[in-house]
Amino acid sequence: MVKKVSIGVLGIQGAISEHITSMTNALKETNTSGEVFFVKYKKEIDDIDALILPGGESTTISKNLYKSDLHDVIIKRIEENSLPIMGTCAGCVLLAKELVDNNKDVKLLHAMDMQVERNAFGRQRESFEKNIDINGFSSTYTAVFIRAPLIKKVWGKCEVLAEMDKKIVMARQDKFLALSFHPELTDDLRIHRYFLDMIA
């Protein structure tokens, strides 16, 4: 673990403040020195040790990333393997190398060897909670799914960490963590703490 960590939460769309609160609480709980703040400009990417891509609408987030030149700066740090990233919901979509619908409006970050299907669990009104087993966790985790994507398949170095009804909802590859659900919408800090452990 670095002496003091700076964690950015992409400030375009989604549960930004909730992620900031959860990660700030995770820092306190683990006695880790650090700060969490939202990032919107490409110059800020150079100043962070890790990045959280929150939920929202993947097309909107992708277009804004591209327009603001954040896309290329993040890609560069991904290629350098110098930026741990956690992507939740829409963030999970952006981390993938393939989309099921192959939507050209969504510019993927190509960080993880996985294929993702957007909105695989239906619309907002079909949101739900489900207890899932996560590799390495001693008890079940209550996952909140809102217009959630599904990780259809993984290959290469991508490792499945959790499934729900035999469907992949959490995966990790090197310093990248992808979740179909929203850990920031619960009081359970284990996933944010898990991501903290990935920042070395």
> Which sequence positions are flagged as catalytic?
89, 182, 184
Using CA atoms, how far apart are residues 194 and 40, in angstroms rounded to an integer? 25
- Strand ranges for the chain from DSSP E: 5-10, 34-39, 50-53, 85-88, 96-99, 112-117, 128-132, 141-145, 150-154, 159-164, 167-173, 176-179
182 secondary structure, DSSP code: -
Using CA atoms, how far apart are residues 85 and 52, in angstroms rounded to an integer? 6
Q: CB neighbours (10 Å) of residue 125? A: 6
Please check whether residue 85 is in contact with residue 177, taking contact to mean a CB–CB distance below 8 angstroms: yes
Q: Closest by alpha carbon to 112, among 100, 128, 94?
A: 94
